[in-house]
Amino acid sequence: MGVSFPQGGDHKRSTTATGRAIFADSVRSIDPALSARIEHTKDWRKGYIEPLREIVIAASQTPESAIEISQAGLESAHRRFVFAQPGQDIALEAALNQAPRPIESLTVSGRASREEDLSIPYRGRRIFGSDLRKQVDQWVADGIAEPSFGAALHLLMDNPDWLDLSGTDIAVLGAGAEMAPTRSLLRWGARIHALDLPRPDIWQRLIDIARNTSGSIRVPISPSDRGDMPFVTGGIVHTEDDAVVASAAGVDLLEQPGEIAQWLNEITNPFVLGNYTYADGATHATLSMSADAIFRKLNAQRNDITLAFLATPTDVFMVPMACVNESRNRWESRGFTGIMQTPLRAFGQFEPNYPRTYRTKIGAEVGLNDSLVPQQGPNYLLAKRIQRWRALAARADGVPVSLNLAPATRTQSVVKNRALAAAYAGAGRFGIEVFEPATSTALMAALLVHDLRNPASVANPSTSLSNPMDLFVVGANHGGLWRSAYAPRSVLGVAAVLGMFESRA
């Protein structure tokens, strides 16, 4: 049931065939030869990396290319994904236009005072003021984050009144997710329209967070056929028992996109729609697709929505020459270490991060950072690409879009993969900093506030960009991947081995 990959002729749902077809469609008008190569990639699960690199190169050639690829990719995805029902699949758009059953609401309000200054949890303590400013400058100096990241946080600290989110409505898809900014936004007084699965443990945690902050959470309560919710009468929820609310709260983004769109459309003020959902495998792609369908539905009904996403650093990006030059300087300064590593390059180890640069059709020289991690797979990249495509297409249509690149983070989805967990543990040997979830979410929440409050931020579609894909560059905290001497995949295995030893120490 719900948003799903389409069935093939054998009545099986092939994630591989669908993903490959969507990527091929995205570049068909820009680069027909690349589109054909994608269609003829036999083992897409292993062969998707090089095509994704080529798509980013194609998108960087002109400002129009980036938008055209984004629009074509989204159109293909909406044409192919379906809404599965008993007996037959229907088009995703048709599913959202079905008469939905209303979702009821209850608001949980906080009891604490609003936090007025920016503070970030980092390495066992909470830093603020001059200590936070020094740390931000250190991240930039170490190549962990771009200078624009530091500039945004300094500007936010210069304007502490920006943190007053009282009266600001923010809808958070995946409100209980590890990378969701829910806690920080509530500390600053926001009204959160929270959406997550009907799991009491998730909602009890969210309610407890809300109670201990100055913000509030609007909790969705789906209609029930069980007859065991006597506290809902006439569309009004009557209970002050948080445990009762937690037991009844929640929605399913895949099964209830139409109901969720209607629930969000009940927000009377302009609001932010942030997608922070995550799931393993193909489900991640269907979640992104459902969220995108909800935005399309809402955007056809109103014009006061701001979109918010987090980009993953383990992707492909066109990066400025400042990143390339610093990476190459680090490569040249390896000294004796570099000599010792030379024989291993024959086995694909210790490769330079930027062996070449690229010229766009408008004459700009750029680098291609390829930090794709094969273990994440093509469905993960499809999910994130749908978000990137929507960000570019929506901004081109005049919709404000806050899209910030979050650093590599020790989330549960990473830690449970032993190879990735070990690689993250050893990444520091190569100039990469891996962040704890609490630090990443607080930093990304701060950048979101900056994007909402600063009229000159790139989230504002009236702010000029030389290429739309600069949206991914400005304010980026990539953890050092863009400025490291080494191509990330060429040291992934070595980092994992070092990480295993460090974990045992």
Within a domain: 351? no
The pair of structure tokens assigned to 42 is: 């036999």
For residue 319, the Cα-to-chain-centroid distance in whole angstroms is: 18
Q: CA dihedral defined by 440, 442, 447, 452, rounded to 10 degrees? A: 140
Is pLDDT of 29 > 80? Answer: yes
Confidence of residue 226 (pLDDT cuts 50, 70, 90): very low
pTM to 2 decimal places: 0.94
pLDDT tens-place string over residues 468-490? 999 999 999 999 999 999 999 99
| Percentage, residues of the chain above pLDDT 90 | 81
- The boundaries of the domain holding residue 203 are 105-112+142-317+374-413+437-485
SS (H, E, C) 187-209: HCCCEEEEECCCCHHHHHHHHHH
Within a domain: 430? no
pLDDT at 223: 72
Confidence of residue 103 (pLDDT cuts 50, 70, 90): very high
pLDDT at 228: 53
pLDDT at 13: 87
Q: How far is CA 119 from CA 156, 189, 294, 396, in A?
A: 11, 15, 33, 34
* Average pLDDT score over the chain: 93
| Percentage, residues of the chain above pLDDT 70 | 96
pLDDT at 376: 87
Taking residues 111-136, report their average pLDDT: 96
Looking at per-residue pLDDT, the higher value among 76 and 236 belongs to 76
pLDDT at 343: 87
What's the CA gap between 401 and 475, in Å, rounded? Answer: 13
Three-class DSSP category at 375 = helix
Is pLDDT of 21 > 60? Answer: yes
Is pLDDT of 32 > 80? Answer: yes
Cβ(422)–Cβ(499) below 8 Å:
yes
Q: Which residues contact 430 (CB under 8 A, 6 or more apart)?
A: 480, 484, 485, 486, 491, 495
Cβ(175)–Cβ(192) below 8 Å:
yes
Within a domain: 125? no
Within a domain: 37? no
pLDDT at 374: 87
Q: How far is CA 289 from CA 54, 382, 470, in A?
A: 23, 10, 24
What's the CA gap between 218 and 192, in Å, rounded? Answer: 6
Is pLDDT of 235 > 50? Answer: no
Cβ(415)–Cβ(437) below 8 Å:
no
Nearest to 194 by CA among 209, 215, 173, 169: 173
Within a domain: 449? yes
Q: Which residues contact 374 (CB under 8 A, 6 or more apart)?
A: 46, 49, 489
Phi, psi at 333, each rounded to 5°? -95, 15
Three-class DSSP category at 395 = helix
Q: CA dihedral defined by 125, 131, 137, 143, rounded to 10 degrees? A: -20
Taking residues 379-405, report their average pLDDT: 97
Within a domain: 222? yes
The pair of structure tokens assigned to 345 is: 């390059």
Within a domain: 128? no
CB neighbour burial string for 344-378, b if at least 16 within 10 angstroms, e if fewer: eeeeebbbbbbeeeeebeeeeebbbbbbbbeebbb
Q: How many domains is the chain built from?
A: 1
pLDDT tens-place string over residues 48-95? 999 999 999 999 999 999 999 999 999 999 999 999 998 889 999 999
CATH code of 247's domain: 3.40.50.720
Taking residues 248-255, report their average pLDDT: 95
Point out which residues pair with 119 in neighbouring strands: 128
pLDDT at 9: 72
- CB count, 10 Å around CB of 461? 17
What's the CA gap between 20 and 33, in Å, rounded? Answer: 15
Q: Which residues contact 226 (CB under 8 A, 6 or more apart)?
A: none
Is pLDDT of 303 > 80? Answer: yes
pLDDT tens-place string over residues 427-458? 998 999 999 999 999 999 999 999 999 999 99
DSSP of 58-120: HHTSSHHHHHHHHHHHHHHHHHH-EEE-SS-EEEHHHHHTS-PPPPEEEEEE--SPPP-S-EE
Cβ(218)–Cβ(191) below 8 Å:
yes
Confidence of residue 224 (pLDDT cuts 50, 70, 90): low
Nearest to 214 by CA among 157, 165, 171, 178: 165
Cβ(157)–Cβ(136) below 8 Å:
no
Sign for the CA dihedral angle at 145, 148, 152, 154 comes to positive
Within a domain: 221? yes
What's the CA gap between 47 and 162, in Å, rounded? Answer: 46
Q: CA dihedral defined by 152, 155, 157, 161, rounded to 10 degrees? A: -110
Is pLDDT of 505 > 70? Answer: no
Confidence of residue 497 (pLDDT cuts 50, 70, 90): confident
Radius of gyration, alpha carbons of the chain: 23
Three-class DSSP category at 382 = helix
Bridge-based pairing state of the strands 169-173 and 191-195 = parallel
